[in-house]
Every structure is written in C-alpha cells, then in structure tokens.
Amino acid sequence: MKFGIMVNEGPYTHEASDTAYLFAKAVLEKGHQIHRIFFYHDGVNNSTRLTEPPQDDRNIVTRWSKLAAEHQIDLVVCVAAALRRGIRDENLAEGFRISGLGQLIESGIQADRLVVFGD
C-alpha cells in the first residue's frame, strides 16, 4: 500500500513527530511504501538543520533525513508555514525541500492512505 503522511506539530514539544516517525518505520518494515511526508503548521520545525538536541536525546531532524535517504521519501515543507516560522532553504536539513500545499493535496490523491499526525 502507498502511504502519505502529514506532520502538524513541532518536534520535542509534542509527540506527533515521534509517532509519525515510528509509524513510518513500521509501514516500511511491513513492505509498504511512503511516497511523501508533508510538514505543516509547527511541523515545519522538523526540517531545520539548526536543531541541536542534547547528546543523550534523539535527533528528530536527522532521523527524518536518514529515513528519507534510505527509502527515497520526499520530505516536503509547506512554504507559507515555513516562512512564517523562519524556515528557509538556507537552514533546511538534508532531504527536505520547501514547496506548496498542492503537494499535500497531490499526496492525498496519489496515496492509498493519507495519515495525519497532530492535535
């Protein structure tokens, strides 16, 4: 099955990013595909490479980058939501790209399931 994923909350403050990541891993382990993960609202903060958590904590941002590289997943950050929150191409982590909300709708159309993580 082909999945699209939407992440709507910021990392660390909220568990949604963690749950989405663990869900994505489980989906891939079961042999399904994820063609795109779309970051919206404060979820865009998952994409900044300026993130520097303490050493004994998980690095949510690099975790996404690694997953995307290993499984060719398109990590898309909403441009309007990103600019509002100071996320730009210059501080984008590996594997992420900034684009429009149309990418979310397209994901809904192309995927068999679109799963939303957030409040």
Partner 1 sequence: MSETTGGVEMDEDVSGVIKKFLYVNRKAPYGTIYALESLEVVLIAAAFDQDVSLVFLDDGVYQLAKGQHTKTIDVKNFSPTYRALEGYDIEKLYVEKESLEARGLTAEDLIVPVTLLPAAEMAELMDGQDIVLSF
List residues with catalytic annotation: 78
Say how many residues touch partner 1, by CB under 8 A.
22
108 binds partner 1 (CB under 8 A): yes
41 binds partner 1 (CB under 8 A): yes
Closest approach of Cβ 96 to partner 1, in Å? 14
* Burial class of residue 116, CB neighbours in 10 A (0-12, 13-18, 19+): middle
Q: What is the C-alpha to C-alpha distance for residues 25 and 8, in angstroms, rounded to an integer?
A: 18
Shortest CA distance to 82 belongs to which of 117, 45, 28? Answer: 45
103 binds partner 1 (CB under 8 A): yes
Instruction: Report the residue from 81, 83, 87, 91 that binds partner 1 according to the rule CB under 8 A.
Output: 81
